[in-house]
């Protein structure tokens, strides 16, 4: 009986069952399911201009049930816009963060493992890019090179997304290269890249996952900032584009809360959930943080 009780306790004593990580992942999953499955239950074509009556309030504020979240001044249904916009914003964040993480993984691994001049060059460039005011540079780039789709915007954001992962990976590699299994792999004739990506990489996964989630949140924020300023792809509905259209049409002054508040609320939920995931992954990777959180 005592052995069964110990097994039952150990079953739930899993670092991946971190409360913050689970809650944040659940929220992200709910938001994604709402946007991805929303098209099954709602007509996405209502997100186009002129597809609906103008300036209808939400159904609970005197509107009609055919447009439960209301419509805006261009004749677009707000629910349909949200369903279309959320995946677009997630796409930008995922592409930018994944690209930045991939570059950072290669550069950080080389800097930490080889050291010397390679480490000095990569570290200096990464530290220099970190000091650049990213949003100001992105505004200048977007002003001279119009972004016609979300993919091009994501790759432009990725230019500034790699220094953070590079520094994280470098610090982890500097620590791991002194471990016994790495020394054994060197003595057995394993190639440097084999050691970096077959021996060290699995031990860095929690840190890399935390860097990815933080990068996605940062990329979504950067993309939303550009779109809210009118510098994003105008034809692609996104959360930032909705905010920009509401701003241009003076929705705040006109009291059209249902136009500007939903995208801001969704962004707040997304940032909060990714913050919880990143914090949870940090605690999963660092046992000391787990003990402190308890």
User: Both tokens of residue 29?
Assistant: 């999953």
3 state SS of 71: strand
Per-domain boundaries in the chain: 20-293
For residue 152, pLDDT over 50 is answered with yes
Say if CB 114 and CB 193 are below 8 A apart.
no
Residue-level pLDDT at 289 = 59
- 18: closest CA among 269, 267, 230, 282? 282
- 97: closest CA among 31, 163, 18? 163
Residue-level pLDDT at 291 = 55
Residue-level pLDDT at 15 = 66
- Exposed, middle or buried by CB within 10 Å (0-12, 13-18, 19+), for 85? buried
The CATH superfamily of 20-293 is MetI-like (1.10.3720.10)
- pLDDT tens per residue, range 235-291: 778 899 999 999 999 998 999 999 999 999 999 999 999 999 999 888 887 766 555
More confident residue, 264 or 207: 264
What is the chain's mean pLDDT, rounded?
Answer: 86
Residue-level pLDDT at 151 = 86
Distance CA 214, CA 233 (A): 24
3 state SS of 105: helix
- pLDDT tens per residue, range 221-230: 999 998 998 8
Distance CA 207, CA 36 (A): 28
């Amino acid at each position: 009986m005592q052995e069964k009780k110990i097994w039952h306790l150990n079953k739930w004593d899993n670092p991946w069952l971190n409360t913050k990580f689970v809650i944040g992942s659940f929220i992200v999953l709910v938001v994604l399911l709402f946007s991805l499955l929303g098209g099954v239950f709602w007509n996405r074509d209502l997100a186009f201009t002129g597809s609906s009556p103008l300036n209808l309030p939400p159904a609970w504020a005197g509107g009609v049930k055919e447009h439960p979240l209301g419509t805006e001044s261009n004749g677009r249904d707000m629910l349909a816009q949200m369903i279309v916009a959320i995946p677009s914003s997630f796409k930008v964040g995922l592409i930018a963060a994944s690209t930045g993480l991939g570059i950072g993984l290669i550069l950080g691994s080389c800097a930490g493992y080889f050291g010397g001049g390679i480490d000095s060059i990569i570290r200096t460039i990464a530290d220099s890019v970190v000091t650049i005011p990213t949003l100001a540079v992105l505004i200048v780039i977007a002003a001279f090179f119009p972004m016609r789709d979300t993919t091009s915007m994501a790759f432009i954001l990725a230019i500034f997304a790699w220094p953070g992962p590079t520094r994280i990976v470098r610090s982890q590699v500097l620590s791991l290269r002194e471990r016994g299994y790495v020394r054994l792999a060197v003595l057995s004739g394993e190639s440097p890249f084999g050691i970096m990506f077959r021996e060290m990489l699995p031990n860095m996964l929690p840190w890399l996952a935390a860097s990815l989630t933080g990068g996605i949140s940062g990329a979504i924020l950067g993309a939303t900032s550009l779109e809210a300023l009118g510098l994003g792809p105008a034809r692609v509905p996104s959360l930032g584009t909705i905010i920009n259209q509401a701003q241009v049409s003076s929705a705040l002054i006109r009291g059209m809360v249902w136009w500007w508040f939903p995208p801001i609320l969704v962004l707040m939920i997304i940032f909060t959930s990714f913050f919880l995931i990143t914090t949870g992954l940090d605690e999963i990777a660092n046992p000391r943080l787990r003990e402190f959180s308890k």
